[in-house]
Structure 1
């Protein structure tokens, strides 16, 4: 491990220098808390206060205790504000109809002490009646999440799923079984969303980010650790316009238009990339974490030699970001992938199960025509696509051997991969005019393979979507969301064959 210092460089950039130091609290890999699978306790939601009248761009300075009452703040990023310097971000150009497969019993997903209701387990893809006539441009969920965000082609936002921490962004922590319109964001145009275990980020066309939900670790980035943010509040970030967002279980990543990476939230396994796990002792036997309450820039990226010696990688501008439960992965504009955070099960791809506290280059992809285009994270695994095809490392099974370094998915060799969704242990891939899925038992229907094939160790085509053009895939802990193209007669015919469910 090493620390980093910085001197002023050309054009306002920073030049890193590194110093080797003795690791602290890191004699061995920290045991990982498995994401929400045993999450049986449900904290009582704190009583909601009135909305804060102060400007959203000025975050509360006072540090709140983790059991503070919830507090909302009102945003100010409306389209009516004038700033000629702002270049608007665009929604994804491909649009389509929402298709869902999996479990709609939100309180049941990932909790072993509850019994599933068969009527709420959908093992084949379905359309959702609430989105009839509404075309979507973006969907977001996460391998640790039981809630989802939907962005329409007009930039309006809907939410669905678990709401115990206010992550649906509708002003309360009540149970809502159906699709909810996020009226709190009605005056904004949202172009992208990201969700973690119990929090949500929303990116507007003006490059601002709003957050809601669980904030006990500072993962909403509003400047405090207020327990719950009921309505989307603007994160405390003024450096530049933001272009990309991603959420881990209890942390978040953002990228600005210069390609700089920032992180905030829980640092427990080094997933924030600041060369620390944030541990400190309150008393001689009580441990706590120094949460990052506002976005903090990740200043250095490294590669390691065989003897473990770190060397800084220069000229890193971020192009793609992804987060698992407790690890992070990125790709820069030179197609170089990096990973850091919890190293268990080989999910970092460095051929060793060691935690990494600083973004580390995945050397497997070094070399001519060996780069990475896109990267995706599951709970305990990572997937990358590029010129060489599609690769997976980590573990997608609950038991058995893990891939300690990237290995090609031979069954998908030669396919043109468009989008990948990573659930807790399941994987769903949109490739050409097909959807391919696999995952071990137990599943909740997220594979969409049918009533009689509820799990599969090998990739299988989803027959009911054969011939469909899936634009985007996103997986939650026990379900899959897909945006399916609906432009041609063939597209419409395939969609019409799918049954509709009411939420």
Structure 2
């Protein structure tokens, strides 16, 4: 759910608008990408979607957040229930990366320090057991001070960081082995309240890490992809339902990027081909109506090459030569009401103008400005994209 500093651009959001997560000044949703008017005067380098909040990093090192704030995840110093308009986070250093979890947020500063805000009930902020409650002001993750962190990522209730020497650290909710540390002496997958080195990857030199709803993954310098946590698919005859240490993904070589959703993963290779793997609910694997697509092992999505991909809970998005693509769940079976029964807003997180499900990558054609005026397709391009639970955001070049 993290985009590194690469290019300048504007922020567009779409999908479910509950708690103002689209940053458009209302709680209404949008089925097409909308430029966030409150951010049009700044140039942005990255964007990240969480469960019901969104964050963007500006080129000047400031970070802006909006949406749900019930755990202090917007880093405003209070727990105002939500913000419908972006507001700058109270982080004392210049920020180069941001990662949004379900109800927590991580910040990576230009000094390679990690800061964290929001829900810390499962240790996902990495601040130690003495600070187990909500943290509405960002706090430095002291356990990582002295380690040069180069990238961060956040799952629903866990967090990950990669160092410049290729070490991988994980912390937070350890349910079903998603932290990759195996079981404790007592035989349990325990929560980690401070960053812990994933020792089974020693010597691998990790270059990329990704976290999903309850899974984790990474890529090493040799292009090997690893996954762990609840099994996305299990072999016939196996009684295991989870893997609690990193295991190589079979059948994929030369991986460069990884994205993980609710029960599926996308693995991007050096040539831009993307292999999908896992449960195929709502067509998230991107193979269309192919009846042979079972998701038991990674299979390349046909006829397209991506520069970057992102996974939400049950939807995906990708960027290809400035074009934005999306597929999976469009919200046609409701919204996020199965998770949050009190909220029944629209879906539309694919940005395709409706709430239908799309079973293979489909080009997003529309972009509207802050006045809801359509912009010609030739006037804009996508540079990166991030998927949340029921919404999506992209970095747009105008």
The alignment partner of 1:472 has SS state of strand
Partner Cα distance (1:146, 1:317) in 2: 33
Structure-1 residue corresponding to 2:274:
390
Structure-2 residue corresponding to 1:470:
382
Which of 255, 262, 267 is 1:372 aligned to?
Answer: 255
Partner Cα distance (1:183, 1:426) in 2: 28
Structure-2 residue corresponding to 1:105:
18
Q: Using the TM superposition, give the Cα deviation of residue 188 of structure 1 relative to its aligned residue in structure 2, in angstroms.
A: 1.3
Q: Using the TM superposition, give the Cα deviation of residue 125 of structure 1 relative to its aligned residue in structure 2, in angstroms.
A: 1.3
Q: Using the TM superposition, give the Cα deviation of residue 273 of structure 1 relative to its aligned residue in structure 2, in angstroms.
A: 0.8
What are structure 1's unaligned runs of at least 5 residues?
A: 1-89, 110-117, 281-287, 302-313, 487-503
Q: Given that residues 345 and 402 in structure 1 are in contact (C-alpha distance below 8 angstroms), is that contact kept between their aligned partners in structure 2?
A: no
Structure 1 residues 390 and 398: alpha-carbon distance in aligned structure 2, compared to 1, 3 A threshold: closer
Structure-2 residue corresponding to 1:141:
49
Q: Using the TM superposition, give the Cα deviation of residue 101 of structure 1 relative to its aligned residue in structure 2, in angstroms.
A: 1.3
Structure-2 residue corresponding to 1:66:
none
What are structure 2's unaligned runs of at least 5 residues?
A: 284-290, 336-346, 368-376
Structure 1 residues 390 and 300: alpha-carbon distance in aligned structure 2, compared to 1, 3 A threshold: same
Q: Given that residues 73 and 103 in structure 2 are in contact (C-alpha distance below 8 angstroms), is that contact kept between their aligned partners in structure 1?
A: yes
Q: Given that residues 264 and 279 in structure 2 are in contact (C-alpha distance below 8 angstroms), is that contact kept between their aligned partners in structure 1?
A: yes
The alignment partner of 2:75 has SS state of coil
- Once the two structures are superposed, residues 397-450 of structure 1 have per-residue CA deviations (whole angstroms, 9 ceiling, x without a partner) of 1699751210111142xx3x1221211111111111321111233361111111
Structure 1 residues 183 and 192: alpha-carbon distance in aligned structure 2, compared to 1, 3 A threshold: closer
Partner Cα distance (1:439, 1:125) in 2: 17
TM-score by length of 1: 0.66
Matched, 1:436 2:325: yes
Matched, 1:204 2:116: no
Which of 149, 165, 181 is 1:242 aligned to?
Answer: 149
Partner Cα distance (1:289, 1:236) in 2: 24
TM-score by length of 2: 0.83
Partner Cα distance (1:277, 1:249) in 2: 22
The alignment partner of 1:219 has SS state of coil
Q: Given that residues 310 and 387 in structure 2 are in contact (C-alpha distance below 8 angstroms), is that contact kept between their aligned partners in structure 1?
A: yes
Q: Using the TM superposition, give the Cα deviation of residue 385 of structure 1 relative to its aligned residue in structure 2, in angstroms.
A: 1.0
What is the number of residues matched between the two proteins?
356
The alignment partner of 1:269 has SS state of helix
User: What does residue range 22-101 of structure 1 map to in structure 2 within 5 Å?
Assistant: 92-101=5-14
Structure 1 residues 433 and 344: alpha-carbon distance in aligned structure 2, compared to 1, 3 A threshold: closer
Matched, 1:216 2:216: no
Q: Using the TM superposition, give the Cα deviation of residue 102 of structure 1 relative to its aligned residue in structure 2, in angstroms.
A: 1.1
Q: Given that residues 38 and 86 in structure 2 are in contact (C-alpha distance below 8 angstroms), is that contact kept between their aligned partners in structure 1?
A: no
- Once the two structures are superposed, residues 296-352 of structure 1 have per-residue CA deviations (whole angstroms, 9 ceiling, x without a partner) of 111114xxxxxxxxxxxx730111110011111101111111111111445x9xx99
Q: Larger Rg: 1 or 2?
A: 1
Matched, 1:342 2:230: yes
Which of 450, 459, 479 is 2:361 aligned to?
Answer: 459
Q: Given that residues 47 and 393 in structure 2 are in contact (C-alpha distance below 8 angstroms), is that contact kept between their aligned partners in structure 1?
A: yes
Q: Using the TM superposition, give the Cα deviation of residue 107 of structure 1 relative to its aligned residue in structure 2, in angstroms.
A: 8.2
- Once the two structures are superposed, residues 153-199 of structure 1 have per-residue CA deviations (whole angstroms, 9 ceiling, x without a partner) of 111011011111111111111223323423411x4110001111111
Matched, 1:404 2:310: no
Structure-1 residue corresponding to 2:75:
169
Structure-1 residue corresponding to 2:40:
132
Matched, 1:449 2:345: no
Partner Cα distance (1:103, 1:277) in 2: 39
Partner Cα distance (1:424, 1:271) in 2: 16
Partner Cα distance (1:479, 1:249) in 2: 15
Partner Cα distance (2:58, 2:225) in 1: 31
Structure 1 residues 323 and 119: alpha-carbon distance in aligned structure 2, compared to 1, 3 A threshold: closer
Partner Cα distance (1:358, 1:133) in 2: 45
Partner Cα distance (1:119, 1:250) in 2: 25
The alignment partner of 1:106 has SS state of helix
Structure-2 residue corresponding to 1:327:
215
Partner Cα distance (1:326, 1:402) in 2: 21
